[in-house]
Chain A
C-alpha cells in the first residue's frame, strides 16, 4: 500500500508567519498534487508538480517536488487567515491511474 505522510499534522500560527508543510513517501509518483479543503467542501486543486526538482510558485505559496519524485513541500510566506484549511498532498499512481492522498495538514492562521 502506498502511503503519503504529511507533517506537521496540525499547525496553528499567527498572521504574517511563514510555514512549511512536508509530504513524504517511500514510493515514486509520476506527479504530485496539492489540494486545499475547507469545511463542508471537497478538496480543490492548488498545483501539480511533475518533474523531479521542480519548483512552482502560486502567489505566496511555493511548491517543490523532490528530485526522486517521492516527496514534496509546500511553503507559505506571510500566512493570512484566508489560508486556513486542510492541506492535502496527493500522488498520482501510474499503475492504477488514481490519486493517493496524504494524511493531511490542518492549518489555522489567527489574525
Chain B
C-alpha cells in the first residue's frame, strides 16, 4: 500500500489475554518505530527497528511487551497478559532511514486497544 498500514484498527480484549498488533510499513522503509499514545496525550516511544534488528528497546514498559520484525518489513507488537493500563492507541511509523538523517517519518492510523 501507499502508507503505513496497521491492524487491527480497534481491539477490545479481556484483562489477562494476549494481543498482537501488526504493522506493515511503507515498502522499502528500513526504519520502523512503535509508539503508544494515551487519550489525547503525546506519544511514548516503545521500540525502534533498523532492518530486522532493534537497537533501541528502551521504551518497552515491561517484559509483557515484545516486538519483532521479519524480512525487514512487517512488525508485530505483542502484549502478554494485558492489563487495563495497557489501553491506548499503538502507533507504528516508518522512514526510509534513521530519523537523524532528516528523513520524514510516516505514521499509520494506529491500533486502538481497550482492555476490559
Interface residues of A (CB under 8 A from B): 4, 6, 30-31, 40-45, 48, 50, 86, 88, 90, 92-94, 96-104, 106
Asked if B84 CB lies within 8 Å of chain A CBs, one says no
Do A101 and B102 touch (CB < 8 A)?
no
Residues of A within 8 A of B40 (CB): 86, 104, 106
Apart from A42-B108, A86-B40, A96-B58, 7 more pairs, CB < 8 Å: A42-B4, A42-B93, A42-B107, A96-B55, A98-B33, A99-B33, A101-B35
Q: Report the 6 A-B pairs with minimum CB-CB distance, sorted nearest first.
A: A42-B107, A101-B43, A97-B98, A104-B42, A96-B56, A101-B42
B4 (CB) vs chain A CBs: closest residue: A42
Do B41 and A103 touch (CB < 8 A)?
yes
A-B contacts counted at CB < 8 A amount to: 69
A44 (CB) vs chain B CBs: closest residue: B107
Do A98 and B45 touch (CB < 8 A)?
yes
Contact of B109 among A6, A30, A41, A88 (CB under 8 A): A41
Interface residues of B (CB under 8 A from A): 4, 31, 33, 35, 40-45, 48, 50, 55-56, 58, 91, 93, 98-100, 102, 104-110
Known contacts A41-B109, A97-B31, A92 near B104 by CB under 8 Å? no
Known contacts A88-B42, A99-B45, A101-B42, A48 near B102 by CB under 8 Å? yes
Contact of A104 among B41, B45, B100 (CB under 8 A): B41
Contact of B100 among A86, A92, A100, A106 (CB under 8 A): A92
Kindly state the separation between the CA atoms of A48 and B104 in the bound complex, as whole angstroms: 9
Do B109 and A42 touch (CB < 8 A)?
yes
Do A97 and B56 touch (CB < 8 A)?
yes
Do A42 and B91 touch (CB < 8 A)?
yes
Known contacts A97-B99, A106-B40, A45 near B104 by CB under 8 Å? yes
A39 (CB) vs chain B CBs: closest residue: B40
